Each structure stands twice: as C-alpha cells, then as structure tokens.
C-alpha cells in the first residue's frame, strides 16, 4: 500500500478527564520515544517504521472547550478518511475516540477492538455525556461500529454491565487474551488502545492505573493476531506527568509501531 495512506494526528485534549488531567501532553512525548536513539525502526513483523512510513499531521491546535475540541478532531480525522487514508490518533484522553469514530459515519468500521481496563460505556459521568468515561456509549448509540470487542476490562460496575448488554458489547477481561477470537474479527477494523488496559507495572503513566492488567507482550500478540484490514486507530490516556523514566511513553511508541506494521501488513 502507499505508505502515505497512514496519517498520524495528535489530539492533545484532556479536558474531558474525570480524575486528573495531563494526557494532553502525550503526543510529543510519544513521538520523542518513537524516534529515540535508544531503539530503532524495527517492528516484530519485520516492517520498518521510518519517518517516511506515514504522514505526521502534527498536533491539532485545541480550543478550550470540549465541543470545539470534538469538532476539530472529527474534521481532522474526516479529512484523512475521505482521502482514503488510515488515521492513527494520539490522545489525549479517551473522549477523543468518539469524534474520531464520527469521521467514519458514512462507512463505519465493522469492528472496534478496544483494549482498556474500563468499558467507557457510561451514559454520563459527573454530568458529562462526553466524558472520557462515555465515548463507547455515544459510539454504539450512533451505530459507529458493527461490533465492539473489549479486552482487558476489570472495572465493570452494574451500570457498565447493563450498558454492555444493551449495546451487545463483547467484553473480555485481562485473563487468557489468547482466547479472544481476534483472527476472526471482520474488517475494516478500528483499534482503540487505552494504555491503562495494560497493568500499571508495564504502563504506570496513566490517570487511572488498575492493577491486574495485560502485559505489553499480551497486547503485542493481540495486535499481531488481527487479520482484518485496519481502518484507523487511537492510542489514548498516556499521562507523562505520572510516568516513570518514560516507561509508558516507550510502551506507547512500541505499540504505535506495531499497529502501523499491522496496518501495512494487512493492507497487502
């Protein structure tokens, strides 16, 4: 595939975070880890990720209000989608996934593979229907995906379980990720990766660290098992202020590379 079909978009927005902010500082730190001389361009699929492997649209100039931020994200992602590109959005908090998926509303992805400790299916959270705890409720209400498959979930309240049942969400915990039927997921497929899906031992730099999560290896293997073409992806909730020795930035950059490699492999 034409490599320029892949387009990175930074969405430095954390104004919809319910606990602590700071994820807005993530995109430049993930890029820094991506190009750090501490590593190289290789991926485990044998596809190199170099500066010319994808377009980098830079970071969106976020306004101060959430509605304006959502509109800007939706417009930026829509322009990539309409040009036949594959957007990869770096958050920001998880609220950015809703406007990112709105960009596909003319042709929604068949499947969203959502890796997270949290279902993010609240009808509202703290009075905010666009909170980072709510994006997948909005996405499912608007029919922005055929199927939502969640992995790593370990904080399901009664409300979240009811919401998952209402929307037909397939919820997998962090146990036995090898049992998730990733190979059979239909495409186009959108990957939404919240770094708190990983155990805080692997990714401490998040606002809501939840022990008992996936390992970095679990997530790499889940990604590699995707056979469907990739429609788009996001990586969210990295909070540099809470990180230790840039560990989480390195995990985000590693998983970004593997997502890009899977997108290239599966488009062939």
| Sites of contact with Mn ion (CB under 5 A) | 116-118, 194, 196
* Residue closer to Mn ion (CB basis): 194 or 218: 194
Give least dist CB 26 to Mn ion, A. 14
Min CB(195)–Mn ion separation in Å: 8
Pick 99 or 213: Cβ nearer Mn ion: 213
For residues 57 and 135, which CB has a smaller minimum distance to Mn ion in the complex? 135
Within 8 A by CB and 6+ apart from 68, the residues are: none
Q: Closer to Mn ion at the Cβ: 10 or 213?
A: 213
Minimum CB separation from Mn ion for residue 91, in Å? 11
Residues 205, 248 contacting (CB under 8 angstroms): yes
Q: How far apart are CA 262 and CA 244, in angstroms?
A: 28
**Cβ proximity to Mn ion, 57 vs 240, nearer residue:** 240
- Find out whether 69 and 9 touch, Cβ atoms under 8 Å: no
CB of 237 to Mn ion, least distance (A): 6
From the centroid of its chain, how far is CA 147? 16
Residue 11 backbone phi and psi in degrees, to 5: -120, 80
Shortest distance, position 3 Cβ to Mn ion, whole Å: 31
> With respect to Mn ion, which residue has the nearer C-beta, 111 or 192?
192
Residue 40 contacts residue 248 (beta carbons within 8 Å): no
Chain-centroid distance of CA 151 in Å reads 12
Helix (H) or strand (E) holding 172: strand 170-172
Q: Which residue has the tokens 């970071």?
A: 59
- Angle made by CA atoms 173, 176, 181, in degrees to the nearest 5: 85
3-state secondary structure of 262: helix
Taking the complex as a whole, how short is the minimal distance between the CB of residue 152 and Mn ion, in angstroms? 9
């Amino acid at each position: 595939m034409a490599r320029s079909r892949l387009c990175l978009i930074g969405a430095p927005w954390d104004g919809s975070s319910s606990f602590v902010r700071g994820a807005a500082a993530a995109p430049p730190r993930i890029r820094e880890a991506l190009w750090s001389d501490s590593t190289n361009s290789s991926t485990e699929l044998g596809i190199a990720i170099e500066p010319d492997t994808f377009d980098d649209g830079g970071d969106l100039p976020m306004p101060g209000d959430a509605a304006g931020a959502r509109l800007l994200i939706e417009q930026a992602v829509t322009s990539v989608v309409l040009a036949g590109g594959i957007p990869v959005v770096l958050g920001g908090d998880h609220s950015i996934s809703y406007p990112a998926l709105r960009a596909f509303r003319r042709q929604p992805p068949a499947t969203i593979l959502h890796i997270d400790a949290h279902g993010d299916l609240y009808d509202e959270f703290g009075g905010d229907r666009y909170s980072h705890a709510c994006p997948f409720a909005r996405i499912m209400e608007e029919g922005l995906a055929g199927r939502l498959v969640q992995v790593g979930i370990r904080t399901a309240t009664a409300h979240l379980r009811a919401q998952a049942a209402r929307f037909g969400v397939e919820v997998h915990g962090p146990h036995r990720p090898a049992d998730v039927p990733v190979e059979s997921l239909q495409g186009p497929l959108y990957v939404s990766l919240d770094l708190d899906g990983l155990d805080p031992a692997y990714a401490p730099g998040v606002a809501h660290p939840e022990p008992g999560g996936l390992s970095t290896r679990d997530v790499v293997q889940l990604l590699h098992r995707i056979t469907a073409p990739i429609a788009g992806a996001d990586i969210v909730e990295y909070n540099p202020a809470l990180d230790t020795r840039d560990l989480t930035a390195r995990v985000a950059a590693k998983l970004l590379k593997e997502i890009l490699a899977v997108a290239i492999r599966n488009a062939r």
